[in-house]
Amino acid sequence: MSDIKSPIIINLSEAGRAVQEDARHLRKIIAPSIWSAEEEWAGGLWEKEQPGDLRKVAISREVSLSYVDEQAAQEPHWHPAQIESYFSASAIELVYKQVDSHQPISFTRVKFTGRILIPPRICHLVRLTGLTEVLQFPSPDNSDKVVCDRCIQHERHGCSAEEARAAMGIEV
């Protein structure tokens, strides 16, 4: 159920500034719940808060929206029931593979500029080069992220987070 009461308008320069000023290089705009440093926001024109203000976050159980950049921590993961989408005007690199295969399979590596929709049950790791929008369509209980080393491929074939990083060309 969404608590958003009006359209949400986000100026990309404001989102970029918010991401750059955040220690995690991640700024959520729409989420299923809020933390103590955040206040519920019903929509409208989103602007980065002034120092000392609570962060404005719209609450929705149907969609989550965040912005990140290349300095945000990324880990290989997959979602049992959630669709995840990344969009950027800068290059995105992705390695991915299905988690349900009964045979050992290698990660596929792609590099692109634009949007990708990742269906449930696809293990993936992204490398970003600029401001990136992350849309998630969460499962009802919102407990949907599974990090590598806890999937069928790991149990059956020894797949690991290190394998995903190596497929990306990241030294392990």
Using CA atoms, how far apart are residues 143 and 120, in angstroms rounded to an integer? 13
Q: Would you state the pLDDT for residue 151?
A: 61
Asked whether 161 and 149 are in contact (CB, 8 A), the reply is yes
Q: Would you state the pLDDT for residue 59?
A: 92
Q: Read off the DSSP letter of residue 104.
A: -
- Residue 166's φ and ψ, nearest 5 degrees, are -65, -40
Q: Walk me through the domains of the chain, giving residue ranges and CATH numbers.
A: 1-70 (no CATH), 74-172 (2.60.120.10)
- Tens of pLDDT along the chain (172 residues) come to 567 889 999 999 999 999 999 999 999 999 988 888 899 998 999 988 888 888 999 999 889 999 999 999 988 888 888 899 999 999 999 999 988 877 778 899 999 999 999 999 898 999 999 999 999 997 766 556 676 666 656 666 567 777 787 887 877 5
Question: CB count, 10 Å around CB of 7?
Answer: 8
Q: Would you state the pLDDT for residue 64?
A: 93
Q: Mind giving me the DSSP string for 52-87? A: TSPEEEEEBSS-EEEEE-TTS----EE-SS-EEEEE
CA angle 145, 16, 116 (to 5 degrees): 45
Asked whether 24 and 66 are in contact (CB, 8 A), the reply is no
Structural tokens at position 90: 């800068």
- pTM, 2 dp: 0.85
Using CA atoms, how far apart are residues 139 and 154, in angstroms rounded to an integer? 23
Q: Would you state the pLDDT for residue 156?
A: 60
- Closest Cα partner for 5 from 26, 30, 28, 27? 30
Q: Would you state the pLDDT for residue 112?
A: 96
Q: Would you state the pLDDT for residue 126?
A: 95
Asked whether 22 and 51 are in contact (CB, 8 A), the reply is no
Q: Would you state the pLDDT for residue 149?
A: 63
Q: Would you state the pLDDT for residue 101?
A: 78
Using CA atoms, how far apart are residues 48 and 58, in angstroms rounded to an integer? 13
Q: Would you state the pLDDT for residue 79?
A: 87
- Residue 106's φ and ψ, nearest 5 degrees, are -90, 160
